[in-house]
Amino acid sequence: MKYILYQLKKHPLAIVGIAIIVFWLIMAFIGPSLISFTYTEMDSEFQMASPGVNGHLLGTDSLGRDLLARIVYGSRSILTVALLTSIFSTFVGVILGFSAGYFGGRTDAVFLRAMDILMAIPPLVLSMVILGILGDSSIASLTIIVSIAFVPATARVSRGVLLTEKSQEYVSAARIRGESHLYIMFVEILPNTTGPIIVEATARFAYSIMMVASLGFLGVGMQPPTPDWGMMVIENKPIISQAPGAVLFPALAIASLVIAISIFSDFVSKVLIHER
């Protein structure tokens, strides 16, 4: 703990990033209970209202729905998908990358070719194709689809860090003791590679938010009535001159969260890798 506090003093920008992340986490899980409006409630008398009118702190959209309520409820869905995506893609990527790097030979060759093929397709395009095939944009489906799109990069990183550790003496000692392959990979090697893997996971967290927001912006993300920050931007674009906040506020929410997580990821990288 003292080491982390010391590093935070050296990197004050990280405190800002962490504060923004904590703010959105609070909004996602406690915020809805603090707001007078629901995200589906329509105020027909105050459509495209300015911030502060009739209790709507951020104003309303073209249907009279409270923007603050929709942003707060939207933070819950986007953070849930992003967090689960980061965990799932890291879990699968570590298993695949470690297995390929550890066993080498044909296993590694097949793995590299498969990852090359998947990485040749932009993650956004790959996600859109899978979404189009499945025709389901639920939180569970988005989590699985975005995770699939991010697994190749995470697996590549995992393979690289394993190859670095594979030749170390403690690995040879474990083999001489007769330890199993699984034990060597996940008990001996994994604890010594957590730094790069955690950094990759936090980076994937930011990428996941951008991905989910982009899918929503393109109209293939979470579907109504579930609020989606990306979809809020595109669906309110026609009224930007009458109610600029309807586009500006969800866009700022996306930007603030992505930037904050990127700052946090950079801080984690410096603490776990560069300054150790």
- What does the domain layout of the chain look like in residue ranges? 61-274
CATH among 3.40.50.2300, 1.10.3720.10, 3.40.640.10, 1.20.1050.10 for 61-274 = 1.10.3720.10
118/55 Cα distance (integer angstroms): 49
What is the pLDDT at residue 10? 79
pLDDT at 1: 61
CA 234, CA 67: separation in Å to the nearest integer?
14
Radius of gyration of the chain, Cα coordinates, nearest whole angstrom: 22
Residue 22 pLDDT greater than 70, yes or no: yes
Closest to 27 in 3D by CA, of 61, 81, 71: 71
pLDDT in the model for residue 125: 86
Residue 218: band (very low, low, confident or very high) from pLDDT cuts 50, 70, 90: confident
Output DSSP code: residue 218.
T
Confidence label for 276 from pLDDT (cuts 50, 70 and 90): very low
B/e letters for 160-172, b = 16+ CB within 10 Å, e = fewer, are ebbbebbeeeebe
- Residue range 221-264, pLDDT digits in tens: 887 778 889 999 999 999 999 999 999 999 999 999 999 999 99
pTM over 0.85: yes
Query: Residue 49 has what DSSP assignment?
Result: P
Residue 10, CA distances (Å) to 16, 78, 196, 270, 273 in order: 13, 31, 21, 11, 15
Q: Confidence class of residue 133 from pLDDT cuts 50, 70 and 90?
A: confident
Per-residue pLDDT, 225: 79
pLDDT of residue 98: 94
Half-sphere exposure of 240 (CA within 13 A, CB side): 11
